[in-house]
Structure 1
């Protein structure tokens, strides 16, 4: 049984159909990349998985259980954490306070345990120690992305959904973020990744799907997609031979 399974998903923004018959699976322990041009439906797919949008048809199943109709809070409790595009960090709180907020779905966690888990999660990002007490509005884009991912991990997810984690970051910071994603998977968390930097995404993913105008047009192992000339021309910024 896949960890996550989308079956014939159809989703609309008002009268505009954003997803048409989208089906995909994510197996436990994988990094799966969801690729496509702007407006292809990638973010809509993620928002539907996390309960922020309701499908018109089809199903989203997690560990064999349908998530359709559940609130975002219930979906987080089921084991899915979503780090959205733009990070959505609370600017008036410190980096540490933002990380701690990630455990809000676990009300029975003691303050001591919450602090200990925040230390454990933050150890993935040694840089956080230097700005943990800094208000978020003062942080750089790379620092904000680290805080956002750490906050997502505080929910103890089985599946971490990342939407454009490299957006607006310098190349060295992008490499650092992708190294962290690999380490997150190594520690046992499955990852579904939407990323405009398709080359980077495929370099760490096991498998990938390509969305075009709301439909899955191709899928396969990441290495094969990276060598596909049509995919390279359309999505990796390279000309087909």
Structure 2
């Protein structure tokens, strides 16, 4: 299967501290690949490095191939033009703007390219997230946490990305809303979307993804098909919480 993204010999810093050392990562086209791990493992540093660090060699180094094109020194705006969209952990919505206006901003790169139908994704987004259509005239600051996450994902999809990167999409959300968000990610996969999912909720991430990496202290300590990781005793004990429950019943 063709890989959409290949990362090798990747290193990144946070301030003066070396956080990520010599990581390699691969995302096959049309699959969901997840990186799981606890707080402080370096997951967000990895995301920030992939999207922005190559403009700052003192921050990160390594080789990043996107469809066999070297993007190791490509500015962020050019990365977005190539077809990579990020949904950051902080969502970064414009609170004073309406839902519709935030979505329209997501099509900015397409409009800049001169596409005349740069709002063509709008109805597809509303199909995925009906609540966004219901609230399209509301300011984004008035939305619930789950609705803001939906809007952040919808805005990223307006750019028609080839690769979607999500940094902790379940952060701060109720379990029911998290389930809904992950259900949408499953639908996107059915539509052919390639996704890099950075997630602390290991159970949900491994359930939806095809392949997973376990990150601890800036390194990948395990990797493999998601169903194998989900059944690995060390992953169960550390990240899924089954081991302690079983012990308590004995």
With the shorter chain as reference, the TM-score category is over 0.9
Aligned equivalent of 1:109, options 107, 115, 124 = 115
Alignment partners' CA distance in 2, 1:164 and 1:175: 13
Cα 1:109–1:52 change in 2 (3 A) is farther
Aligned equivalent of 1:172, options 169, 176, 193 = 176
Q: Is the 2:53–2:60 Cα contact (8 Å) retained in structure 1?
A: no
Alpha-carbon offset, residue 120 of structure 1: 2.0
Q: Report SS of the residue matched to 1:51.
A: helix
Name the residue aligned to 1:44: 45
Name the residue aligned to 2:27: 26
Does 1:139 find its partner at 2:143?
Answer: yes
Alignment partners' CA distance in 2, 1:38 and 1:231: 16
Higher helix share: 2
Alignment partners' CA distance in 2, 1:52 and 1:133: 36
| Cα distance per residue 1:50-108 (max 9 Å; x no partner) | 22564543211111112112111100111100000021110010011101111111111
Q: Report SS of the residue matched to 2:115.
A: coil
What stretches of structure 2 of length at least 5 have no aligned partner?
none
Alpha-carbon offset, residue 157 of structure 1: 0.6
Name the residue aligned to 1:210: 214
Alpha-carbon offset, residue 37 of structure 1: 0.9
Q: TM-score, normalised by structure 2?
A: 0.91
What stretches of structure 1 of length at least 5 have no aligned partner?
none
Does 1:94 find its partner at 2:95?
Answer: no
Does 1:70 find its partner at 2:71?
Answer: no
> CA RMSD, aligned part only?
1.5
Q: Report SS of the residue matched to 2:241.
A: coil
Q: Is the 1:33–1:193 Cα contact (8 Å) retained in structure 2?
A: yes
| Cα distance per residue 1:110-141 (max 9 Å; x no partner) | 3xx23332122221111111111100111100
Q: Is the 1:51–1:75 Cα contact (8 Å) retained in structure 2?
A: no
Q: TM-score, normalised by structure 1?
A: 0.94
Alpha-carbon offset, residue 229 of structure 1: 1.1
Alpha-carbon offset, residue 109 of structure 1: 2.4
Name the residue aligned to 1:236: 240
Cα 1:58–1:114 change in 2 (3 A) is closer
Name the residue aligned to 1:150: 154
Alignment partners' CA distance in 1, 2:75 and 2:67: 17
Alignment partners' CA distance in 1, 2:40 and 2:51: 19
Alpha-carbon offset, residue 180 of structure 1: 0.4
